[in-house]
């Protein structure tokens, strides 16, 4: 019984310190071009109110739609604060950091993909209180003409768990359990 009580107490303390996921920054952007490329770029910078620290397990999520058509060779690159996340919509899921299965897209279809960020990358992105997203159309000769391309993105992360103090009554409970254990030995 004593072992069961100690295990239950330890489990309660660990669960109380579990991290909660939160959206740190998000934006909805749209671009429309009336000229040709390749190399058309679109940048979106969002200020989120000061540097954020103490976050872990970052995740960059992107939902995009517009003039992206893998069979026609229409693809783009994505960078977050200078960190390249790779080439998207090119049919090659090996050259990006996203969880997209095939990396194939069709005109006017919506796609949601996510990429994990290391804690170091997340800290660097959040350091100055601004996040810049750079989309670059690599399609020769540039095929974002007269299309509205939408990019909805967010960065979520877990708050680093704060140390959980022992409840004030914990020493009394441990002392009582030790006393019970001692009494049990004396009887046995």
Asked if 47 and 80 sit in the same domain, the reply is yes
Total domains in the fold of the chain? 2
Asked if 183 and 129 sit in the same domain, the reply is no
Asked if 117 and 82 sit in the same domain, the reply is yes
Mean pLDDT, the chain, integer = 74
Asked if 148 and 180 sit in the same domain, the reply is no
Which of the pair, 13 or 139, is modelled with greater confidence? 139
The confidence score (pLDDT) of residue 145 equals 54
State pTM to two decimals.
0.69
The confidence score (pLDDT) of residue 137 equals 74
User: Using CA atoms, how far apart are residues 153 and 166, in angstroms rounded to an integer?
Assistant: 39
Q: Do residues 24 and 48 make contact, with C-beta atoms less than 8 angstroms apart? A: yes
Asked if 167 and 178 sit in the same domain, the reply is yes
| Whole-number percent of the chain with pLDDT over 70 | 71
Asked if 54 and 14 sit in the same domain, the reply is no
Which of the pair, 187 or 158, is modelled with greater confidence? 158
Asked if 141 and 70 sit in the same domain, the reply is yes
Asked if 14 and 104 sit in the same domain, the reply is no
Instruction: Please classify residue 137 by burial: count the beta carbons closer than 10 Å to its beta carbon, then call 0-12 exposed, 13-18 middle and 19+ buried.
Output: buried
**Residue 33 token pair:** 């071009």
Asked if 50 and 124 sit in the same domain, the reply is yes
Q: Do residues 115 and 99 make contact, with C-beta atoms less than 8 angstroms apart? A: yes
The confidence score (pLDDT) of residue 36 equals 53
Give the CA dihedral 151, 129, 125, 143, nearest 10 degrees. Answer: 30
Residue 154 structural domain: 20-160
Asked if 112 and 185 sit in the same domain, the reply is no
Instruction: Please classify residue 98 by burial: count the beta carbons closer than 10 Å to its beta carbon, then call 0-12 exposed, 13-18 middle and 19+ buried.
Output: buried
Q: Which CATH number fits the domain that encloses residue 142?
A: 2.60.120
Asked if 29 and 48 sit in the same domain, the reply is yes
Asked if 67 and 4 sit in the same domain, the reply is no
Residue 53 pLDDT greater than 50, yes or no? yes
């Amino acid at each position: 019984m004593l072992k069961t009580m100690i295990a239950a107490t330890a489990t309660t303390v660990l669960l109380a310190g579990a991290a909660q996921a939160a959206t740190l920054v998000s934006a909805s952007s749209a671009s429309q071009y009336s000229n040709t490329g390749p190399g058309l770029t679109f940048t979106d910078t969002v200020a989120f109110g000061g540097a954020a620290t103490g976050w872990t397990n970052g995740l960059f999520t992107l939902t995009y739609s517009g003039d992206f058509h893998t069979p026609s060779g229409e693809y783009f690159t994505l960078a977050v604060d200078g960190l390249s996340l790779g080439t998207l919509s090119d049919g090659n899921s090996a050259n990006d950091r996203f969880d997209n299965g095939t990396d194939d897209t069709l005109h006017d279809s919506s796609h949601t993909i996510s990429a994990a960020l290391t804690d170091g990358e997340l800290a660097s992105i959040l350091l100055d209180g601004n996040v810049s997203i750079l989309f670059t159309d690599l399609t020769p000769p540039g095929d974002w003409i007269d299309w509205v391309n939408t990019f909805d993105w967010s960065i979520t992360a877990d708050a680093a768990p704060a140390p959980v103090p022992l409840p004030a009554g914990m020493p009394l409970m441990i002392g009582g359990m030790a006393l019970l254990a001692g009494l049990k030995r004396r009887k046995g």
